[in-house]
């Protein structure tokens, strides 16, 4: 009798489970309520950009339900981001093995997610097309489409789709965040800050809304206001790597280079991947260079290059620093490494043929720096113009400034003035651009404009390290100009 009751209970439970599965409105497939709660918590952390906490929740979800395919996918994305290759491969294998146990839309999300992480171009196109054709009104599909347009640089379309997301769910905070960046890239700065203000209202008590707003303010040259936003973000969630990196960027923009190095070092210590550490060390090297410590900059990059031998951007920058220290032989070696890494990438069957039509900017830029240090300024200018053809306006300030520097060296100050003013339209407080603009005016004998530009430069760097040679020389030049009759 006891065994019969147990059998009846088992059958009832099985039927109830089947009914629950049929009527389950969860967007993901799992048999565990607790695993689903962990997953939802992980998604919430992910939307706040609290990466480590998000990963912990996705790991907890798959521990509670090893058959939870979407949790495996989300955990895999962090293993991939953090460079934990063994864990990524293991989690990827588990997720793919569960494709026949999930809904079709989950299957497509999983296949598309791994295609993107594995950089399989043809599969990305295939699965994204399937996802958008089959589920045009699905919120996750719409969100993916907005990100797709954004990553492709089609900001008008990205805005259109993101606004559609908000219409469906007015409280979806990430859409306001991406709209803030979209409108900044489109040059609509007031609208950008308006959307980020709304993002902060929805995400009250979160760090990232303040970080995002701070980043846009910083890019527009409002350094003090940006720093305040970053400090608020840090007080809400201390030691977020990207927030500390942005604090370093503000200090760098104000030429408080010692403080910048301190922030970058802390960000590098907290970095969850080698790629992130490289990014911070590149910034540290740049600070050393403007402190007249170029050989220390080279030493920093040489050390990290030993651990990141496949990072093509790192090798390009190291080659550039060799040119600045006059070591052209080593610069040419780095150029060879850059070309080799690009050739290896091109050999991949997943590398799009369309991208092989032009030399990548990372190679062109190093070639331009080598040409410039050899005195071949027109060649450098031509190479930098090729770089600019492949860049979006918001991403071109460094290249434009380098172009202007070569124009000055080539005794083409009028061209330099035009180029530098183009950068200053977006950020009127770019200290290095102001300094170079004063040099261009000097070469033309335009003392009034030179004086005004030096005053602007010194106002930007008023809190900067006063022992920096460029600041000392600017004060001396300005003093001399003030002595001369107007």
CATH of the domain at 124: 1.25.40.10
Question: Which regions of 181-232 does DSSP assign to beta strands (E)?
Answer: none
Q: Are residues 36 and 113 in the same domain?
A: yes
Question: Tokens for 178?
Answer: 């991406």
Question: What span, in angstroms and rounded, lies between the C-alpha atoms of 355 and 372?
Answer: 26
406 and 364, same domain (yes or no): no
Q: Are residues 379 and 476 in the same domain?
A: no
Please state, in angstroms and rounded to a whole number, the distance separating the CA atoms of residues 318 and 284: 13
pLDDT of residue 27: 81
Q: Looking at the domain assignment, is residue 72 inside a domain?
A: yes
Listed residues 115, 135, 155: the one ending a domain:
135
Is the domain of 371 the same as that of 418? no
pLDDT of residue 9: 33
- Does pLDDT of 143 surpass 70? yes
Residue at 278 is within a domain: no
Domain boundary among 135, 157, 173: 135
Final residue of a structural domain among 100, 135, 170: 135
Same-domain pairing of 418 and 361: no
pLDDT of residue 355: 64
**Among the listed residues 205, 207, 149, the one whose alpha carbon sits nearest the alpha carbon of residue 178:** 149
Do both 35 and 82 map to the same domain? Answer: yes
Kindly state whether residue 299 falls inside one of the protein's structural domains.
Answer: no
* Residue 294 Cα distances to 28, 255, 284, 300, 436, angstroms: 53, 16, 11, 10, 19
Say yes or no to pLDDT of 18 above 70: no
Could you tell me if 276 and 308 are in contact, meaning their C-beta atoms sit under 8 angstroms apart?
no
**Alpha-carbon span 229 to 473, nearest angstrom:** 32
Structure tokens at 107: 């299957």
Instruction: Assess whether 33 and 128 both reside in one domain.
Output: yes
**Taking Cα atoms as reference points, which of 54, 74, 8, 64 lies closest to residue 31?**
64
Tell whether 246 is covered by a domain.
no
Same domain, 406 and 444: yes
Whether residue 440 lies inside any domain: the answer is yes
Structure-token pair, residue 422: 């183009």
User: Left (φ > 0), alpha (ψ -120 to 50) or beta: where does 258 sit?
Assistant: alpha
C-alpha 448/C-alpha 301 separation (Å) is: 41
Q: Is residue 211 part of a domain?
A: no
* Mean pLDDT of the chain, nearest integer: 91
Instruction: Give residue 49's pLDDT.
Output: 87
pTM for the structure as a whole = 0.87
* pLDDT the model gives residue 281: 97
Q: What's the average model confidence in pLDDT over 403-414?
A: 97
Q: 232 in a domain, yes or no?
A: no
Contact call for residues 48 and 206 (beta carbons, < 8 A): yes
pLDDT, residue 97, reads: 96
Rounded distance between C-alpha atoms, residue 149 and residue 155, angstroms: 7
How many folded domains does the chain comprise? 3
Helices (H) and strands (E) in the chain, counts: 26, 0
Q: Are residues 344 and 440 in the same domain?
A: no
* Residue 319: pLDDT over 60: yes
Q: Report, as an integer, the average pLDDT of 309-321.
A: 95
**pLDDT at residue 124, rounded to an integer:** 87
Provide the residue range defining the domain that includes 327: 309-348+356-385
Which of 327, 239, 252, 254 has the alpha carbon at shortest distance from 282? 252
């Amino acid at each position: 009798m006891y065994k019969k009751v147990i059998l009846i209970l088992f059958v009832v439970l099985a039927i109830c489970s089947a009914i629950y599965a049929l009527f389950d409105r969860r967007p993901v497939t799992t048999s565990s309520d607790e695993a689903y709660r962990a997953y939802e918590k992980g998604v919430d952390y992910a939307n706040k950009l609290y990466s480590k906490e998000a990963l912990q929740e996705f790991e907890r979800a798959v521990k509670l339900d090893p058959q939870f395919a979407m949790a495996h996918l989300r955990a895999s994305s962090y293993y991939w981001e953090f460079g934990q290759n063994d864990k990524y491969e293991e989690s990827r294998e588990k997720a793919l093995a569960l494709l026949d146990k999930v809904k079709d839309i989950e299957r497509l999300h999983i296949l598309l997610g791994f295609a993107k992480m594995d950089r399989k171009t043809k599969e990305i196109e295939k699965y994204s097309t399937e996802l958008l054709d089959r589920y045009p009104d699905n919120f996750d599909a719409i969100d993916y489409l907005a990100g797709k347009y954004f990553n492709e640089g089609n900001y008008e379309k990205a805005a259109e789709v993101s606004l559609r997301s908000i219409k469906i769910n007015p409280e979806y905070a990430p859409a306001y965040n991406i709209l803030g960046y979209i409108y900044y890239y489109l040059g609509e700065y007031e609208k950008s800050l308006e959307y980020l203000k709304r993002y902060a209202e929805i995400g009250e008590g979160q760090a990232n809304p303040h970080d995002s707003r701070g980043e846009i303010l910083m890019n527009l040259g409002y350094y003090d206001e940006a720093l305040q936003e970053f400090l608020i973000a840090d007080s809400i969630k201390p030691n977020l790597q990207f927030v500390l990196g942005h604090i370093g960027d503000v200090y760098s923009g104000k030429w408080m280079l010692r403080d910048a190095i301190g922030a970058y070092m802390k960000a590098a210590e907290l970095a969850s991947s080698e790629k992130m550490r490289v990014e911070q060390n590149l910034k540290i090297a740049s600070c050393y260079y403007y402190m007249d410590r170029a050989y220390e900059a080279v030493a920093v990059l040489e050390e990290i290059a030993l651990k990141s031998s496949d990072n093509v951007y790192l090798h390009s920058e190291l080659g550039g620093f060799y040119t600045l220290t006059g070591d052209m032989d080593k610069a040419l070696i780095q150029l060879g490494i850059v070309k080799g890494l690009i050739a290896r990438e091109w050999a991949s069957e997943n590398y799009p043929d369309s991208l092989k039509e032009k030399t990548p900017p990372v190679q062109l830029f190093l070639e331009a720096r080598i040409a410039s240090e050899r005195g071949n300024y027109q060649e450098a200018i031509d190479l930098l113009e090729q770089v600019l053809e492949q860049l979006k306006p918001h991403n071109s300030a460094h290249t434009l400034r380098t172009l202007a520097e070569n124009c000055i060296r080539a005794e083409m100050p009028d061209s330099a003035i035009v180029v530098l003013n183009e950068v200053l339209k977006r950020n009127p407080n770019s200290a290095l651009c102001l300094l170079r603009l004063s040099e261009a005016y000097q070469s033309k004998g335009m003392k009034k404009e030179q004086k005004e530009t030096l005053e602007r430069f010194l106002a930007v760097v008023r809190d900067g390290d006063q022992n920096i040679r460029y600041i000392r020389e600017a004060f001396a030049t300005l003093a001399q100009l003030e002595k001369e009759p107007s």
